Structure 1
Amino acid sequence: MIDVLIADDHAIFRSGMRRLLSDEPDMRVSGEAANGQEVIDLLQAGKYSVVLLDINMPGRSGLETLKRIRASWPAQPVLMLSMYPEEQYALIAIEGGANGYLSKDRDAGELLQAIRAAAAGGKYISPNVAVQLLTKPRHEASQAPHLGLSAREIEIMHLIVQGVSLTEIGEKLFLSVKTISTYRTRLLAKLGLESNADLVRYALRHELID
């Protein structure tokens, strides 16, 4: 039996995943978490075949949680799920130790296939991502400035380009406005940008947002 831990801060999404997996004779949802700390707590208390981990969660982000999982449970299968574009964030997630990455708009059958692959100790990359990785020059991917951002910087970048204010970002991530401002300054410097408008243009140019 494949025991799945679902980590997502949206209760409706978790409910939908429960219904989907309940129809599979070899799968069951054995745990649910709404944030990164709950994921760590559940892994400390029990074993799971696969962790379905959302990238964008309050507090510790999915990528930061993945880093913690890899440090404490190096063999734990983890699949990253997100609304962020696969073409960019699949590489970041997999290099961070994920067994696979799927955007939430993928077909349910593909998700089930990915779960089974991860549970067996393998990796899963969607056909779309595989084509992108094969056709994109490797040196170009490795030199993309945003690939050097930390998990928290990536999360804050996405919120900024969505038009979320620094105050709102701080409230969402449980951090002070001063800390968020420091993160913003740091990520702009790493990307060689000067303003939020530049950041939006960068995100569009690199297909980090729709």
Structure 2
Amino acid sequence: MIKIIVSAEDILLNEKIRRLMTEGPLQTRVIGSVRHTHELIDMLEQELPDIIIQHVGSGGTPKLDAIFQVTHSYLGLPILAVGSGFDDEIIAEIIKAGAMGFLEVSQLDTVLAAAVDMLVSQKHTYVSKAVAQKLSEEIQMLNLMARQQRLSEREFQVMKMIARGLSMKEIAEELSVSVRTIYTYRARLMEKMGLKSNVAIRHYALGRFLIEKDEVKD
């Protein structure tokens, strides 16, 4: 039996989710139905559900207060966010705030049960492929940023010069060192950053605004 708390300010939406869960194919029990964050927190202090279905609004800026508070106090408790009119970038922000899945309100009738089952039984995040790809890219970029902190000042300088399209000889001349030394710096920074080519270095530098496009040599 999956225990559920439904949290939505919209009374009609709250009731719809409750009905879909009660009458759906899953073995579920809605242990609570609330409209406000403080009511949700009070209910969680009385009994923990297996999942929270949380409405985060329609378009504009999503309402993430409940997600932040639950994630802070009850780490690991699955939250399925429900909303409408959000683009992939905003949905990615909702997931990063602590939700384990997101559903458009228009999808509730067809896939709500499957999403709840996936989050509770399989412990998988439930998002579109586009959102998953965006999250993956952001995580990869955060990892690269952390690795960047390990670069020496000279390695960082050489990385930006490579990204601008300068040759090893040109970099050596500008820094008044040997070409062999520049190859050593390049090898070290590529190892630390996990970048495999000059093209990858350029892509990272442009993505992080370490250089401007007009700085890149043709």
Question: TM-score of the superposition, structure 2-length normalised?
Answer: 0.55
User: What is the distance in 2 between the residues matched to 1:86 and 1:118?
Assistant: 22
Q: Deviations over 1:106-142 (max 9, x none)?
A: 152311111111212623334xx31354389936xx7
Q: Distance in 1 between matches of 2:108 and 2:65?
A: 26
Give the AA of the match of 1:40: I
In structure 1, runs of 5+ residues without a counterpart are 144-210
CA distance in 2, matches of 1:133, 1:14: 27
RMSD of equivalent CA atoms: 2.8
> Shift in Å at residue 88 of structure 1?
2.4
CA drift of 1:81 comes to 0.7
Distance 1:86 1:111, change over 3 A: farther
CA contact (8 A) 2:92 2:135 kept: no
CA deviation after TM superposition for structure 1 residue 28, in Å: 2.1
Q: Once the two structures are superposed, what CA deviation does each residue of 1:158-205 show, in whole Å capped at 9, x if it has no partner?
A: xxxxxxxxxxxxxxxxxxxxxxxxxxxxxxxxxxxxxxxxxxxxxxxx
Aligned counterparts of 1:136 and 1:99: Cα–Cα separation in 2:
12
Asked which structure has the greater CA Rg, the reply is 2
* Aligned counterpart, 1:208: none
Counterpart of 2:9 in structure 1 is: 9
Number of aligned residue pairs: 137
**Do residues 18 (structure 1) and 18 (structure 2) align?**
yes
Corresponding residue for 1:33?
34
The 4+ residue runs of structure 1 with deviation greater than 6 A are none
Which letter maps to 1:89? I
Secondary structure in structure 1 of the residue aligned to 2:49:
coil
Write the letter of the residue equivalent to 1:48: P
CA distance in 1, matches of 2:71, 2:134: 29
SS at match of 1:108: helix
CA distance in 1, matches of 2:78, 2:89: 21
CA contact (8 A) 1:86 1:101 kept: no
- Check 1:37–1:23 CA distance in 2 against 1; reply closer, same or farther (3 A cut): same
Distance 2:47 2:38 in 1: 14
Match of 1:130 in 2: 129
Report the Cα distance in structure 2 between the residues aligned to 1:68 and 1:136, rounded to whole angstroms. 22
1:1-210 → structure 2 map (5 Å cutoff): 1-24=1-24, 25-56=26-57, 62-120=63-121, 122-126=123-127, 129-131=128-130, 133-134=132-133, 138=137
Cα separation, 2, equivalents of 1:133 and 1:8: 25
**Which residue identity lines up with residue 10 of structure 1 in the other structure?**
D
CA 45–114 in structure 1, closer or farther in 2 if over 3 Å, else same: same
Q: Secondary structure at the match of 1:131?
A: helix
Residues 133 and 121 of structure 1: is their aligned pair in 2 closer, same or farther, counting only changes over 3 Å?
Answer: closer
**TM-superposed deviation, 1:102:** 1.1
Counterpart contact for 2:78–2:119, Cα < 8 Å: yes
